[in-house]
């Protein structure tokens, strides 16, 4: 499978349309590469919303977004372990593969949805909830007309249940992340039961179960934490749909008014070109984000027998790069756009070659 095929916007839909008897080893590896990109695609919009909250750590919306971001980081790692256990290698450091904003989710999941980068608005939270929406959101009981993330993972699990011999346990990255919440650690996936547990965490943290909107794998706060889709809906009910309703870009707590990043990123030339300070910050975020992706990709490459700890070291380095994103991103969110809109800049999350 070449890069062009991987980058097709409807690749997941195409994979889902194949009959089950064609869900062979190549299908599984192709699907899991798409799953890696899908998990990656959720992080930039959620991070922009979280960083735009100019409030203390006690803000309940900030806490909700932080918990979900930690979960999604774990899901990305779990998807990489799923891919390597079946003989694949995650690909993240490639401009043709990295999700672009605004744009669709990778693979054609929820084709009606445009994912964008902005500060926290009711439009943004509606978009977050749509990303995580299950096929049968409670209390609805009618089939959805689209492919959901959960349905895609179910198809992958069914294929592996039919071919458990594909699960090798090779090139697994192990990391204790229980401090982020139950089920969030990266563990070795070497049996079908391991794979079932891993996929269950991804699905039920995002979508809940068929019987409950609660997250069965909560963080340290314990039971009562909602799965991501329902947590975002709760944010809208509690803050965006009060009586009288607030405007779509206003909350009852302070936020930085980050505007929507345009296609191709903020223009660097012309009458709306940003000041040098802005360009410096934009480039700083893009470089750190790109280096993070390169290090993540290297974490799941074939092991070097002379350096057995290289995967853990690369993952540590990737986390360090991610920590570098917040400060310049929030500085951008304090700098006004030159168009008089009252909106500010924000990070682009564009991949740049080293």
C-alpha to C-alpha distance for 279 and 267, rounded to whole angstroms: 10
Task: For residue 134, report the phi and psi dihedrals to the nearest 5 degrees.
Answer: -75, 170
Q: Evaluate if residue 52 carries a pLDDT over 90.
A: yes
Over the stretch 285-295, which tens digit does the pLDDT of each residue have?
999 999 999 99
Q: What is the CATH number of the domain that holds 190?
A: 1.20.1260.10
Q: Which residues contact 269 (CB under 8 A, 6 or more apart)?
A: none
Q: Which residue has the tokens 């963080």?
A: 219
Characterize 202-235 residue by residue with b for buried, 16 or more Cβ atoms within 10 angstroms of its Cβ, and e for exposed: bbbbbbbeeeebbbbbbbeeeeebbbbbbbbbbb
User: Within a domain: residue 289?
Assistant: no
Number of domains in the chain: 1
Predicted local confidence at residue 212, as pLDDT: 59
Confidence label for 6 from pLDDT (cuts 50, 70 and 90): very low
Task: Write down the mean pLDDT value for the chain.
Answer: 86
User: Within a domain: residue 81?
Assistant: yes
- Which SS3 state, helix, strand or coil, does residue 344 take? strand
Domain extent, residue 102, equals: 3-255
CA 116 to chain centre: 13
Predicted local confidence at residue 310, as pLDDT: 73
User: Within a domain: residue 313?
Assistant: no
Over the stretch 221-247, which tens digit does the pLDDT of each residue have?
555 688 898 899 888 877 644 444 566
User: Within a domain: residue 145?
Assistant: yes
Task: Please state the rounded mean pLDDT for residues 314-322.
Answer: 93
Predicted local confidence at residue 120, as pLDDT: 95
Q: Which residue has the tokens 């672009």?
A: 100
User: Within a domain: residue 97?
Assistant: yes
Task: Please state the rounded mean pLDDT for residues 67-80.
Answer: 94
Contact in structure between 184 and 217 (CB atoms under 8 Å): yes
User: Within a domain: residue 196?
Assistant: yes
| Higher per-residue pLDDT: 66 or 57 | 66
CA distances from 276 to 108, 178, 231, 267, 282 (A): 37, 42, 39, 12, 10
Q: Evaluate if residue 42 carries a pLDDT over 50.
A: yes
User: Within a domain: residue 112?
Assistant: yes
| Higher per-residue pLDDT: 134 or 31 | 31
Q: Evaluate if residue 8 carries a pLDDT over 90.
A: no
User: Within a domain: residue 52?
Assistant: yes
């Amino acid at each position: 499978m070449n890069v062009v095929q991987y980058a097709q916007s409807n690749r997941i839909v195409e994979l889902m349309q194949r009959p089950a008897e064609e869900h062979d080893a190549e299908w599984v590896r192709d699907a899991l590469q798409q799953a890696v990109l899908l998990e990656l695609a959720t992080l930039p919009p959620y991070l922009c919303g979280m960083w735009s909250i100019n409030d203390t750590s006690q803000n309940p919306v900030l806490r909700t977004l932080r918990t979900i971001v930690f979960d999604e980081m774990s899901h990305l790692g779990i998807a990489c372990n799923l891919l390597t256990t079946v003989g694949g290698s995650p690909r993240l450091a490639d401009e043709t593969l990295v999700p672009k904003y605004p744009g669709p989710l990778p693979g054609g999941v929820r084709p009606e949805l445009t994912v964008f980068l902005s500060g926290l608005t009711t439009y943004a939270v509606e978009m977050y909830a749509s990303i995580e929406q299950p096929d049968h959101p409670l209390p609805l009981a009618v089939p959805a007309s689209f492919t959901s993330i959960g349905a895609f993972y179910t198809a992958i699990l069914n294929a592996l249940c039919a071919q458990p011999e594909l699960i090798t346990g090779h090139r697994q990255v192990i990391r204790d992340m229980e401090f982020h919440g139950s089920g969030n650690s990266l563990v070795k996936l070497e049996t079908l039961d391991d794979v079932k547990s891993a996929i269950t965490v991804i699905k039920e943290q995002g979508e809940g179960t068929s019987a409950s909107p609660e997250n069965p794998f909560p963080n340290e706060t314990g039971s009562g934490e909602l799965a991501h889709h329902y947590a975002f809906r709760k944010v809208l009910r509690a803050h965006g749909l009060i009586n009288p309703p607030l405007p779509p870009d206003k909350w009852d707590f302070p936020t930085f008014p980050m505007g929507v990043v345009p296609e191709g990123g903020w223009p660097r030339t012309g009458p709306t070109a940003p000041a040098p300070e802005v360009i410096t910050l934009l480039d700083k975020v893009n470089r750190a984000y790109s280096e993070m992706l390169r290090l993540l990709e290297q974490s799941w490459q074939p092991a070097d027998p002379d350096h057995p700890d290289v995967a853990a070291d690369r993952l540590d380095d990737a986390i360090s790069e991610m920590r570098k994103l917040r400060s310049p991103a929030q500085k951008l969110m304090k700098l006004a756009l030159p168009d008089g809109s009252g909106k500010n800049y924000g990070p682009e999350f564009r991949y740049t070659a080293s």
